[in-house]
Amino acid sequence: MSFAGLVPETPNFVTHLECGMTGEKLPAGQLHNLSPQGFPILVRYDLAGVKKALTREKLASRAPNWWRYRELLPVRKTENVVSLGEVMTPLLNLPRLAKKHGATGDIIVKDEGRLPTGSFKARGLALAVCMAKELGVTKMAMPTNGNAGAALAAYASRAGIESVVFCPDDTPQVNMNEIVLQGARLYKVNGLINDCGKLVGAGKETAGWFDTSTLKEPYRIEGKKTMGLELAEQLGWELPDAIFYPTGGGTGLIGMWKAFEELEAIGFIGSKRPKMIAVQATGCAPIVRAWEGNERHAKLWENAHTVAAGIRVPAAIGDFLILDAVRNSNGFALAVEDAAITAALDEVAKEEGFLMCPEGAATYAAWKQALSDGRVKKSDRVVLWNCAAGLKYPMADGGTPLDRHGPIDYAKL
């Protein structure tokens, strides 16, 4: 496959990896899951070197995909880039809804449904698969609520890597179908995603797969980091006042916060940061509970349930990193009712002609809630994260039957 013009050839600037909790340095170029202390691992770069090598002007001349940020990505050899035609996802304003609610600041949706496999999971899993290929992995496994499994299946097949996916047995059928069609072996488990994750971990030694679970390897964060890099560039290197992010495992929120730190270090942005707002559902809100209780870690949420399957994550291994980003940005965590999510999805679709996924709709519901209680201002420029194409989710039957053979009262149509 030729990547001419799509993936820039650059030096690699990775210096080392480190434990996200203790800061212990770990060697790059080796396979890692969690750190020796059992925490997620972060990738570190020679940012002074990146600053010398990359300018805004050079970046602007590159193809509009996330490989334009190659200096801030971990893949060493271009031959190990695994691509399915990634794009920079668009920013869509919601002017009718802004006017309806009296907002003078922009309400912007970052629409991740335009990516391969129809969700933002493509970002993290593409980088995880690239690095697995680079480090010699031949078999990968992970738990999923749907979209992540689809992304792993697609990118692993593209790379010639075997993939095994475990999902709750009530995962949306469309997700299960695409996982299988894209080449993974899929197992439907009578439990939640954390139960699926236990199966992945328990079978690692015997089955010989690499555990690609959320934050149990270092590179999904680096893929999700491109959301922050991309957003900053699209907004002219001026970050918004607030980001509403649907939070399950929280990889994207952590990754964006890391992106902003790196962009400031290379001189692309200043010190301004958006409020990072973790959005969950009231039926599964461990991060909200921990934030409200001023706790460092989030306890397991029992009997998790919500219509937004992607944020039904009872326990997040990167909980402390999510909470750090929220607190350090003067942000907050809030939960919304399922009824509010459903109503938000309907409102955005009817008012703006844009079909959000349930998790994305949760961010709009959260914005309205935060606006009403004064935690965001009407003048704030906010970004809502729509993490997947709405067409991937179950929808109510629509339309009214019409008998073309009988009399039709057109005045009533």
Residue-wise pLDDT tens digits, 293-349: 999 999 999 999 999 999 999 999 999 999 999 999 999 999 999 999 999 999 999
Q: pLDDT at position 1, please?
A: 44
Tokens of 56: 């805004």
SS3 409: coil
Tokens of 81: 């880039």
Question: Which of 227, 228, 279, 275 shows the shortest CA–CA distance to 250?
Answer: 279
SS3 267: coil
Q: pLDDT at position 8, please?
A: 85
Answer yes or no: is pLDDT of 209 > 60.
Answer: yes
The 10s digit of each residue's pLDDT in 89-120 is 999 999 999 999 999 999 999 999 999 999 99
Q: Tell how many helices (H) and how many strands (E) occur in the chain.
A: 13, 13
**Residue 29 — left, alpha, or beta (φ > 0 → left; ψ -120 to 50 → alpha)?**
left
- The angle at the Cα of 104, spanning 102 to 106, to the nearest 5 degrees, equals 115
CA distance 6 to 70: 11
> CA-based Rg of the chain, rounded to a whole angstrom?
21
The 10s digit of each residue's pLDDT in 69-84 is 999 999 999 999 999 9
Question: Which of 301, 124, 114, 142 shows the shortest CA–CA distance to 212?
Answer: 142
CA distance 62 to 40: 32
Q: pLDDT at position 4, please?
A: 55
Give 3's pLDDT tier (boundaries 50, 70, 90): low
Strand order in the sheet with 275-281: 91-93, 107-111, 382-386, 242-246, 275-281, 332-336
**pTM to 2 decimal places:** 0.94
How do the domains of the chain map onto residue ranges? 91-117+218-389
The 10s digit of each residue's pLDDT in 141-182 is 999 999 999 999 999 999 999 999 999 999 989 999 999 999
Tokens of 317: 């291994």
Give 395's pLDDT tier (boundaries 50, 70, 90): confident
CATH architecture, domain defined by 91-117+218-389: 3-Layer(aba) Sandwich (3.40)
Question: Which of 111, 142, 145, 114 shows the shortest CA–CA distance to 129?
Answer: 142
As to burial, measured by CB atoms within 10 angstroms (0-12 exposed, 13-18 middle, 19+ buried), residue 302 is exposed
Answer yes or no: is pLDDT of 388 > 90.
Answer: yes
Give the dihedral sign, CA 221/8/90/86. Answer: negative
CA distance 410 to 163: 55
CA distance 117 to 130: 16
